[in-house]
Structure 1
């Protein structure tokens, strides 16, 4: 699977570890930055990575900033991107099984390497539940997404 990775300076170190983990799992990683721990603006890396998810150039994305919410706010502006902030493996499993999220957002200042690795493992290996009620709910969210797409969103 192709995975877009992005971070700001606060998530850079954790992003490198996650990149290694994903590669070891057999995934292809596309790194959209940041490329060091120098202060930078989160949209400069997360927006192009979210575009890659939106345009189908990658199947999923994992974005890391200080707490995860900035990345999610940016990513969820794009059509077809369904980003979830997860701070534990339980939430990561639900984000995939109940909502079919395609972007995982993590807080590099909130969680350590070991818990992040487990969150990524769970999120990457969990499928959406096939139960009709979950599919119905996800379909409703996707319909809302389609209803509000604009030509500008593809830019």
Structure 2
């Protein structure tokens, strides 16, 4: 699977550990930066990475900032993205099973690397539930995107 990663300065160290894990799991990794801890604006990295997932150049994205919410806010503004913030493996499992999320956002200032790696491992290995009630719920959320977000092919300059 192709996984795109991005962060801000607060997520660089944790991102490096996650990249190692993903490679060990056999995934292709694309790190869009940043590559050091100099202060940066999160959107300069998360937005391009989000587009990689939305354009289907990557299967999933993992974004790391201080608490995870900034990355999720940016990513969820793009059509085709279902970004979640997870702070434990149980939430990661449900985010995939119940919501078929395609972007995972983590807080590098909130969770340590051991739990973060377990969250990533769980999120990467969990499939959506196929029962009708879960599929119905996922379709309802996608219908909201259809109503309120523009598809990428309708937008110039991306």
The TM-score range, normalised by the shorter chain, is over 0.9
Confirm or deny: 8 A CA contact 1:78 1:153 kept in the other structure: no
Name the counterpart of 1:152.
155
**Who is 2:94 aligned against?**
94
Q: Where do 1:107-122 residues align within 5 Å? A: 107-122=107-122
* In structure 2, distance between residues paired with 1:73 and 1:154: 21
Query: In the TM superposition, what is the alpha-carbon distance from 1:146 to its structure 2 partner?
Result: 1.8
Query: Does residue 1:65 correspond to 2:81, yes or no?
Result: no
| Number of residues of Structure 1 aligned to a counterpart in Structure 2 | 155
Mapped partners of 1:37, 1:133: distance in 2: 44
Q: Residue in 2 aligned with 1:134?
A: 134
1:39 alignment counterpart:
39
Q: 1:93 to 1:112 in 2, by over 3 A?
A: same
TM-score (norm 2): 0.95
**Distance across 1 between alignment mates of 2:148 and 2:6:** 25
| 1:81-121 CA distance string (max 9 Å, x none) | 00000000000000000000000000000000100010000
Structure 2 Cα separation of the partners of residues 136 and 28 of structure 1: 31
Gaps of 5+ in 1: none
CA root-mean-square deviation:
1.1
The 8 Å contact of residues 79 and 153 in structure 1, kept in 2 or not, is answered as: no
Q: Equivalent residue for 1:78?
A: 78
Cα drift, residue 152 of structure 1 = 3.3
* TM-score between the two structures when normalised by the length of structure 1: 0.97
Return the alpha-carbon distance in structure 1 between the equivalents of residues 30 and 44 of structure 2.
Answer: 15
Specify whether residues 153 and 61 from structure 1 end up closer, same or farther in structure 2 by C-alpha distance, changes over 3 A only. Answer: farther
In the TM superposition, what is the alpha-carbon distance from 1:148 to its structure 2 partner? 2.1
| Structure 2: unaligned runs, 5 residues or longer | none
Deviation at 1:38, TM superposition (A): 0.6
